[in-house]
Amino acid sequence: MFVGGFLLVAAAMTWATAFLMSPHGEAVGDGVEHVRQTVVTYIRGTAIGTLFLTAASAWLLFPSRRPTSTVRDRLLLGVIAILIVGSSLQLIWLFRL
């Protein structure tokens, strides 16, 4: 369970970093268009990595034999859902570019 929690924290940090770097919007300064493709590539890789880290942490945090704690389980499922939805929306947004 420690490794699952560690992976979930890593996935949250990765997701937050990519989310804060995301070039959403049309406000682009002059002369920085060449950087956009690099940022898009980084965000795509980070979104895919976040999905894999989230899946691995969910698999480790919810084994078949463990004591049940409904509050803990709901909080973990909420965090996992936010990470998955956020990464999926970033991938959808990138494919629409």
What pTM was estimated for this model as a whole? Answer: 0.77
| Model pLDDT, residue 42 | 86
d(C-alpha 90, C-alpha 85), whole Å: 9
Spatial neighbors of 97 by CB under 8 A, at least 6 apart, are: 40
- Residue 54 CA, distance from chain mean position: 7
| Model pLDDT, residue 94 | 83
- Let me know if 34 is exposed, middle or buried by CB neighbors in 10 A (0-12, 13-18, 19+): exposed
**pLDDT tens digit at each of 97 positions of the chain:** 788 889 999 999 988 888 777 666 666 566 667 777 888 888 889 999 999 999 999 988 887 777 777 888 889 999 999 999 999 988 898 887 6
Helices (H), the chain: 2-21, 33-61, 70-95
